[in-house]
Structure 1
Amino acid sequence: MSNKNNKILLESGTNELEIIEFHLEKSLPNDKTKTCYYGINVAKVREVIRVPETTDYPNAQPHMIGVFSSRDILTPLVDLAGWLGVPTLTTLDNKYVIVTDFNRMTNGFLIDNVSRIHRISWNDVESPSQFLEAGEQDCVVAVVRKENKLLMILDFEKIIADINPELSMEKYDVKLDRTVDLNEKMISKRNAKTVMVVDDSAFIRSMIQETLSSSGYNVITCKDGGEAFEKLNDMQRIIKEENSSIDEIVNAVVTDVEMPRMDGMHLVKRLRENTFFNNTPIVMFSSIMSEDNREKALELGANDTITKPEIGKMVGLMDQYIFGS
């Protein structure tokens, strides 16, 4: 199974995606097993292969089995079950590897088997319930119901950041970035502006919020495109009642692409169809921001895009589109 041309199977703004269903076989007492169901966006997958020969890597991070060559790229192989705390058979016979390609990185994740591809609407992708969410430590960003099964959509960005902290956006500190203007006058200007941040990962939301807040901006957060659209509609009603403008409430939107209920592409499309938000700057921040996706985002009306993990560009783009600087 291969995503040969690395194109997103999601047409511009249709609010649809394709996910690969894969399984981990949890070992139970008395030699029994229980199938655990998971899903990953096809857009993040380069290919699914049999377990390749690996080479041990010195001082490797926990749950890193070794490294292998994937199309001439040195690729770490991660024990996904081990990271998740799911006990499985240790033998690699009959197992598979999902090779991912996002955040400009290639990684392999060991799984027990792969099932099929499902084409679904983001509207059918549910956020984890409030009782299951564990804030920044949660590794499940969404749940899909399929054929009486619950497929857990994992936060692969968080998994990679946890295994290799050197590649994490957490390393970035805007206060140490000399390219960002942090004089009192500029911070005061930003204090009068508000940015809406939309991302289904509490881990990513927190980092974007910290970066923008540290530079002076006020931040409103939303956990998916549906919540963002609802909040912006509420703002529109206030604007009409008070005969004011959207700039008095929110000055820019930063949104992910992959989100439950409403994805970022569809959110941009809906906002640009509404005259109230025609001129609101929108920047898309996504791990799957390929050139193809960037072109789609700009066609739909986004002002710009950033590929995760380049969070260091965030404040500069907000300054550019809010202040014209």
Structure 2
Amino acid sequence: MRNKNNILLKSGTGELEVLKFEVGDSLYAINVIKVKEILQLKNEAIEPLPAQDNEAVRGITNIRGDVVSVIDLRYYLGAKNNLDSNGLNLSILTNFNNTKVLFVVDQVLGISRLTWKDIREPNQLMGNLTNGVINLDNNLVNFLDFEKILDDLSLNQGMAYESNISEGDKKRRQNITLALADDSPTIREILKDSLTKAGYNDFIFFNDGQQLLKHLYKIKEENQGDSILNHIQGVITDIEMPQLDGHTLTKRIKDDFYLKELPVIIFSSLINDELRHKGESVGADEQISKPEIDKLVDILDNLVI
């Protein structure tokens, strides 16, 4: 895999790069930003977990001092007849949700550059396993929802609000209108449940950034005489979304004279020390990694109440 320094660093352009790979007879893609490297992993390097009853979770391994979970996408996606007879596992080492995970695949096919507008609505035959479908070189490529995979396999730690709240906190958080954009139904449901437990109770959910931005523009058109904060008090957005990504959404909000006072929180699996500068460059008020629901609530309190 080529050096990460070649990957687009400028935010708000609507562009991304994806790594294409094959599992069984189907093609899939992952955002290159999530990928650390490609490895060949021997079977004996994987230590099974005694309490794990899902075949897709092969176990754990040690990658240069880091204990990493190994998920076999051939089992998860129902293509286990293609297992390597030589005991080698072609694996994509990823880093998202502040967690490193190895995903075993059949083949890695290369990197393609595209825009978020190139990612269409997901194929319903895939259920909610994908965030979208890409047409690359006349082939349909599924943009996998890796957060859902971790959630399905009970590896998504911290994605719930656990703090006890007082009646005073709950009252302060009521009737605050929040607009949220995330293309993952799983994450939208987790956000709704967690924020409701925290006392927030007025949400407008969108599948992508383009839908949310259109909603804000409509408010702007109809209410030029007052503040956007009289209608919506905060925006929470993912980064990876079809049509309009979270960085571009944030930039357009902050570049707009009417909308710019609206607090924008980027809530994404891609927030880490290496990539935080992207959100800063487009004017995000805060950036939080997806497992940190408790931190999200605290930041919301500071920005919107």
1:17 maps to which residue? 16
Which of 293, 296, 301 is equivalent to 1:311? 293
Gaps of 5+ in 1: 26-34
Give a deviation string over 1:28-70, Cα, whole Å, max 9, x none.
xxxxxxx200000111111111233322332234122232221
2:217 maps to which residue? 233
Q: 8 Å contact 1:95–1:113 — kept in the other structure?
A: no
CA shift, 1:149, in A, is 0.7
Which of 177, 180, 190 is equivalent to 2:163? 177
User: CA–CA distance in 2 between the matches of 1:276 and 1:71?
Assistant: 49
Deviation above 6 Å: which 4+ runs of structure 1? none
Identity %: 31
Gaps of 5+ in 2: none
CA shift, 1:168, in A, is 5.3
Q: 8 Å contact 1:61–1:163 — kept in the other structure?
A: no
2:42 pairs with 1:59: no
CA shift, 1:213, in A, is 2.5
User: CA–CA distance in 1 between the matches of 2:262 and 2:62?
Assistant: 44
Which of 51, 57, 69 is equivalent to 1:76? 69
1:122 maps to which residue? 116
CA shift, 1:120, in A, is 0.7
Structure 1 counterpart of 2:18, one-letter code: I
Give a deviation string over 1:217-258, Cα, whole Å, max 9, x none.
311101111111111111112213xx3321122110001111
User: CA–CA distance in 1 between the matches of 2:212 and 2:289?
Assistant: 21
Question: What secondary structure does 1:318 align onto?
Answer: helix
Structure 2 counterpart of 1:16, one-letter code: E
1:203 maps to which residue? 186
Using the size of structure 1 for normalisation, the TM-score is 0.86
RMSD of equivalent CA atoms: 2.1
Q: 8 Å contact 2:98–2:272 — kept in the other structure?
A: no
Q: 8 Å contact 1:103–1:288 — kept in the other structure?
A: yes
Q: 8 Å contact 2:74–2:106 — kept in the other structure?
A: no
Aligned residues: 300
Using the size of structure 2 for normalisation, the TM-score is 0.91
CA shift, 1:99, in A, is 0.9
2:152 pairs with 1:156: no
Q: 8 Å contact 1:253–1:280 — kept in the other structure?
A: yes
